[in-house]
Chain A
Amino acid sequence: MITKSHLIEWLRACDAIYTENKTYLTQLDTAIGDADHGNNMHRGFRKVGEQLDSLADKDIGALLKAVAMTLISTVGGASGPLYGTFFLQAAGKASGLNELNAAQMADVLEAGIGGIKMRGKASAGDKTMLDAFIPALEAFRTTPDDLQTALNNAADAAEKGAEDTIPLIARKGRASYLGERSRGHKDPGATSAAMMLRELAKAAEGDA
């Protein structure tokens, strides 16, 4: 089971990981975008981190919705609405719940990723965060029963998906203007998405 306290630890870890990787993500974005992804993720999750203590008595749906609203209003760029929509749609599947089993976790992830597809109108292979999220969901769904293994496999798949964006030509977002020149660079959005899923797998290992 994933409990609410797992998720709060996860969000705290996201704050830490984006603080630690602020420069790295911005460097990736400098190569093919507009050099702000690390700054934006750091600003958004710093704000989420500050609010976590006041969200401890909410259910998972309310927690994820609060995260969504914070990201939508602080991140900006394209990643604000995309990650914001991820958490907003995920929240809809966790309304009233205080823990998630594997099937519920899969529904939450699927709804969130569906939200990103809807908002950004991107598909697999467009060199976006979906290239981490889509294989992660696939890996999660095809891992039978054990939730922790499923989360680990999802994180592995997301990291591989992010690496696999390197040879791709970007077809969405600012990187798409570079055409062929976007080859050879790792997508910053896929990278931040893989970090998020790795932190989720790590947080789930802890005591609830």
Chain B
Amino acid sequence: MKKLINNPDDVLREQLEGMQLAHHDLIHIHLDPAFITRKEATPKGKVALISGGGSGHEPMHGGFVGYGMLDAACPGEIFTSPTPDQMYEAGKAVEAGAGILNLVKNYTGDVMNFEMAADMLMADGIKVQNLIIDDDVAVKDSLYTAGRRGVGTTVLMEKIVGAAAEDGYTLEQLSTLARKVNRYGRSMGMALTSCITPANGSPSFEIGDDEMEIGIGIHGEPGIQREKMKTVDEITEMMTLGILEDPAYHRQLRAWSPEKGEWIDVAETDEPFGSGDQVIAFVNSMGGTPVSELYGVYRKMNEIIEKKGLTVVRNLIGPYITSLEMQGCSITLLKADEEILKYWDAPAHTPALRKGM
């Protein structure tokens, strides 16, 4: 293992300390338990937007704390969900009378830990809703698996929902918008190489020099299909068509029912993309792939999208939701209506994403 680290056990803390020093004008880092808040207190009456998850995906989520995006982020150990005490303390720190919306990527651990945290916050009389993001079309089956994983749509979600929270949306309005963004967003990823967590010191999975893994999530977990290496045009076509031709997706998602006072499963359906749709296109590096190659992906992706009668109206290109040093990329397409575009274009100022201010 060759990594720019000291002791593997200190990686997370040292990274947070570095972030604090670099971005003290925007964020404040808390340790024991670890969470990141904006430097300024949440304005009274604004819904607090919190996300979190395993570390190793930087800049997500901590890099998106700031005006127009998150109020707090909870970093877990690398590729391991954060724990409820982190979300609880973060929630107590940033809640400002209008409740909390937790943006939770659909991984078994994240869902359970955020649920326990929401229970603890609600026991203190705070209104909380958890919104589960599940956009990875590589997972076909929701009946016999934990369902689609939360991947690239998360970044777009944090931008759009964050701006709407800034604009005074109530918790209910914000949850409705977030559910729509989740229904409208679809992603697919692939890996050329594996990655090494500092704690393990060896690759999360083995992959040959001439092979690639299709359908990888954002962790070291293996994808769904191993293939021989292909050209960027062929790979991009596989991913873009995988997204555009994905049929309607039905599943049940956990949510808190304030009326019933319990966690319930809510049926959700993602409708397929269609000709005439406007989309926000997000081409993301898994960490080890250079931006130059992402533009190669974008070129072919745009060609396919136009051929199918859709239009890319906004884009985001770069490493925003990564998997340590893994080489590979993901494509996220988000159907964009007026409300989504308005909040995509709204100002934001965070360590990793800055728009219009």
Contact = CB atoms under 8 A, between A and B. Distances in A.
B204 A35 contact: yes
Nearest to B254: A121
B109 A81 contact: yes
Given A76-B76, A78-B81, A169-B144, 12 more contacts: A34-B220, A35-B200, A35-B221, A39-B80, A72-B116, A76-B77, A76-B81, A172-B146, A173-B108, A176-B145, A177-B224, A179-B144
Contacts of A34: 79-80, 204, 219-221
B278 interface: no
Task: Give the interface size class of chain A.
Answer: 20 to 34
Interface of A: 26, 30, 33-36, 39-40, 43, 72-82, 84, 119-120, 169, 171-174, 176-179, 181
B221 A80 contact: no
A52 to B, nearest CB: 20
A77 B80 contact: yes
B113 A81 contact: yes
Nearest to A175: B221
Contacts of B78: 36
B346 interface: no
Nearest to A79: B109
A74 B112 CA distance: 14
Contacts of B76: 76
Contacts of B33: 73
Most buried by B among A76, A171, A172: A76
B146 A174 contact: yes
Interface in B188-236: 197, 199-200, 204-205, 217, 219-222, 224
Contacts of B112: 78, 81-82, 119-120
Contacts of A79: 109
B79 A75 contact: no
Q: Interface SS of chain B: helix, strand, loop or mixed?
A: loop
A101 to B, nearest CB: 32
Contacts of B108: 78, 120, 172-174
15 contacts: A34-B204, A34-B221, A36-B77, A77-B109, A78-B81, A78-B107, A78-B112, A81-B112, A81-B113, A119-B112, A120-B108, A169-B144, A173-B146, A176-B145, A181-B222
Q: Interface SS of chain A: helix, strand, loop or mixed?
A: helix
A179 B224 contact: yes
Given A120-B108, A176-B146, A81 B84 contact: yes
B145 A171 contact: yes
A76 B74 CA distance: 12
Contacts of B107: 78, 174
Nearest to A23: B200
A181 B205 CA distance: 13
Interface string B81-104: 111110000000000000000000
Nearest to B116: A81
A76 B206 CA distance: 25
Nearest to B202: A30
Interface string B144-188: 111001000000000000000000000000000000000000000
A80 B139 contact: no
B10 interface: no
A176 B199 CA distance: 24
B222 A72 contact: no
A177 B146 CA distance: 7
A80 B205 CA distance: 24
Most buried by A among B33, B144, B149, B205: B144
B337 interface: no
A73 B84 contact: yes
